[in-house]
Amino acid sequence: MEPAVALHQVCKSFGPRQVLDSLSLSVRPGEILGLLGPNGSGKTTTLRLMAGFYTPDSGRITIRGRAPAPGRGNADIGYLPERAPLYDALTVTQYLEFGAGVKVQGGARARRLAIERAIDGFDLQGVARSVIGRLSKGQRQRVGLAQAVLNDPPVLLLDEATNGLDPVQIVEARAMIRRCAEGRAVVFSSHLMQEVEALCSRIAILREGRLVQDQALGESRTALHLQLALPTARHGALHAALSACPGVKTVDISLLDGGHSKWRIAWDSPAAGAAACDAAMRVALAHAELRAVLPAQEAVEARLLAALAPNDPPLRRRA
């Protein structure tokens, strides 16, 4: 399958500082690539190059096999930067109308249908007439995601899309990002290892502008930890409900202080991870107050630390 977006030996400098050095990276439709690395490693620059905000000093970028037109936006790219480009004085509908006027081709009817799809797809019906400046952080992120996919782009770029959200909002954002990823190539940059663990099918790790690891992630998704608040007397009902979820193999409970408990939910197989996680989260939210979501393994964090070790080889590619 042809990559939806690809960088070929891309170099980028700002003044005397080289930010990217011969970076080659590609993402195929249906993949969610986690872009990782310490501050200053080149993650945001990589996203901005893909989005067309920057042009490479050398090398080339292709979107669906074609070089993007220089100095122009690309209709094949949806982009949500770390700070969503929202206008606080506008209502949600007014903002999406503005975005559709810029992004969506085909006349007034096509723009109206795109706005309706975005409002329905991101559960914005209840705030469609609300001023954006009065929305919660989670609602603002939903509006940002809605504008990013207004014109149904095949490539979606997300920079810290779940940063600053509370646990319930993170769960909602994960579900929306998974829906957005269907049939699209998604690049997801984040400092939150548990979000990369929960969402991504691959990770690419940058160090000082170079790719030091590019590896599939599916084999690491075998379990999930939830920290919940609910009376001990209701543990049995929740245990039974979680055990009945498709793909769930075992459910273990550890009591914590303050009426909290830690629940370890393990899957039958790594392949069941994403679907089983969504089902388990819905059940948990129906029974208890969710206080935290943590990965059962530190696979992504361990890979990141190993890839950034001083003696790490310059590149590890997928087998």
pTM of structure? 0.74
- Range with the lowest mean pLDDT among 38-52, 111-125, 270-284? 270-284
Assigned token pair, 310: 């001083």
Q: What is the CATH number of domain 223-296?
A: 3.30.70.60
Q: Where do the domains of the chain lie?
A: 5-219, 223-296
pLDDT for 35 beyond 90: yes
> Looking at per-residue confidence, does 299 or 228 come out higher?
228
Assigned token pair, 164: 């600053």
pLDDT for 219 beyond 60: no
What is the per-residue burial (b if ≥16 Cβ within 10 Å, else e) of 119-151? beebebeebeeeebeebeebbbbbbbbbbbbbb
pLDDT at residue 242, rounded to an integer:
93
Tell me the HSE value of 172 on the side-chain side, using a 13 A CA sphere. Answer: 19
pLDDT for 294 beyond 70: no
* Confidence band, pLDDT 50/70/90 cuts, at residue 157: very high
In the chain, what percentage of residues exceed pLDDT 90?
37
pLDDT at residue 319, rounded to an integer:
41
- Range with the lowest mean pLDDT among 6-10, 105-109, 265-269, 283-287? 265-269
pLDDT at residue 296, rounded to an integer:
47
- Range with the lowest mean pLDDT among 74-83, 93-102, 291-300? 291-300
pLDDT at residue 273, rounded to an integer:
59
Average confidence (pLDDT) over 1-18: 92
Q: Give me the chain's average pLDDT, please.
A: 84
* Confidence band, pLDDT 50/70/90 cuts, at residue 115: very high
How many Å apart are CA 96 and CA 38, to the nearest integer?
A: 34
C-beta of residue 288 within 8 angstroms of C-beta of residue 229: yes
Residue 30 region by backbone torsions, left for phi larger than 0, else alpha for psi between -120 and 50, else beta = left
What CATH class does 5-219 carry? alpha beta
pLDDT at residue 274, rounded to an integer:
65
Closest by CA position to 36, among listed 281, 153, 207, 167: 207
